[in-house]
Amino acid sequence: MSDQVFLLPDLGEGLTEAEILEWKVKVGDTVVIDQVVVEVETAKASVEVPIPFDGTVVALHGDEGATLQVDTPLITVTRTGTSPTTPSAHEQYREEERAGSGNVLIGYGTSDDTRKRRRRVGSRSTTTPPASTTRPTIPAPLHSAATTDSSRVISPIVRSLAAENAIDLSTVIPTGFGGVIRRADVEQAIAGAPGPLTAAIRMTNSDQRVPLKGLRKAVADKLSTSRREIPDATTWVDVDATNLIQARRSINASLAENEQISLLALLARLTIAALQQFPELNATVDTARAEIIQFGSVHLGIAAQTPRGLVVPVVESADSLTTVELAQQLRATTVLARDGKLPPNRLTGGTFTLNNYGVFGVDGSTPIINYPEAAILGIGRIIDKPWVVDGELTVRKITQISLSFDHRVCDGGVAGGFLRLFGDYIENPIAVLGRL
């Protein structure tokens, strides 16, 4: 008999850790190659992880709710009857993986060609470095208090978390494999000791600490990066959406039920039309090369609130779709996002984001740019308001639209021109939609 330790695999898209949502097996169970053994949650999606060998489960390296780093032990299986001259099931699995077959983590291909797939226009890198052929060595269990705290920490995230909260790693009790200090260990230490913030705040028994992890942490990190890296500005204007609502009603009257167009789809279509006139905003800034990259296609991100938190699924090459096709893709994408079934590669690669925060019953906002994009367009709620039409006061359907933009890619004239054009499209949609 021999033990096989399956490490948490590289989940792609730069992800370095995952939280265990649900174990599909328990100690003592028999597993087969490609059987899903655990569901984990990354910063971008939930992922079912298959095991690359068979045998009997002897250890699960983490409880549900625990966060594991990539390339640390996930599950240990005892295997029997393997001939030394016959490749192990694990080795065969890896060969199949390199050949492009076998079970696949949700949202990821398996072949080298997939990993080295062509990036979209404007990608920061033109080549993908070859994957490492070796796994990191798992530290041996600690037997001496003289061992330095640095040898017990694998993840720079854990080290940073400890530093930010003034936690002495030498005082942290490790629970990870081989005596490694895990993120949960540091969080436990934080909960039991005042950090730089709580040292100045009197905490009571009614206060609660909520771990910043998973999707919430990924969103926080990205928004912080946006505020830190992008010199943004925001402009807004009120527009009359009465004709837009009437246009949608007229269009849908002539379409089959499965072709019905949502208001979001019409707003997305008008957004694309305005971007075609102001391509400066469908862009990003490459600071390393001191260049502004204007994208040839619009990969439209749609900010969506889900039970897991805020996500921005991307409709790739949205400018190449008809209005009906765009509506269908948005409908399908929204359902997948709310169910947490979007693969991570559908949550990256956007070039411009549309945020319909009006669904929350608010009029306006200064939306934070979805880094590394250059702009985000926001739509407030549509409500009845007094409005002047041809010199007469009347009641119309009014909404406020706003644009946050990277001041490095354009000045206020371009941003204002785009927002005013988009507003004109909302007020006179039929002429625009007829050309699309």
Q: CA 106 to CA 9: how far, in whole Å? A: 12
Using CA of residue 118, residue 119, residue 120, residue 124, what is the dihedral sign?
negative
- Give Cβ neighbours of residue 237 (< 8 Å, ≥ 6 apart): 400, 401, 419, 420, 423
Look at residue 276 and give its three-state secondary structure: helix
Look at residue 67 and give its three-state secondary structure: strand
How many C-beta atoms lie closer than 10 Å to residue 392's C-beta?
Answer: 7
Reference 402, options 365, 362, 351, 352; nearest CA is: 365
Cα→Cα distances 305→41, 245, 347, Å: 17, 23, 13
In terms of DSSP bridges, do strands 300-302 and 352-355 run parallel, antiparallel, or are they unpaired? parallel
H or E element: which one contains 327? helix 323-338
The strand pairing partners of 234, in sequence order, are 404
Q: What angle do CA 374, 308, 167 make, to 5 degrees?
A: 85
Instruction: Please list the helix, strand and coil fractions of the chain in percent, rounded to the nearest 5, in that order.
Output: 35, 25, 45
Concerning whether 143 is annotated as a catalytic residue, the answer is no
| Cβ pair 188, 160 in contact under 8 A | no
Q: Which of 90, 143, 299, 407 is catalytic?
A: 407
Look at residue 209 and give its three-state secondary structure: coil
Q: CA 174 to CA 183: how far, in whole Å? A: 10
**Catalytic residue positions, numbered:** 407
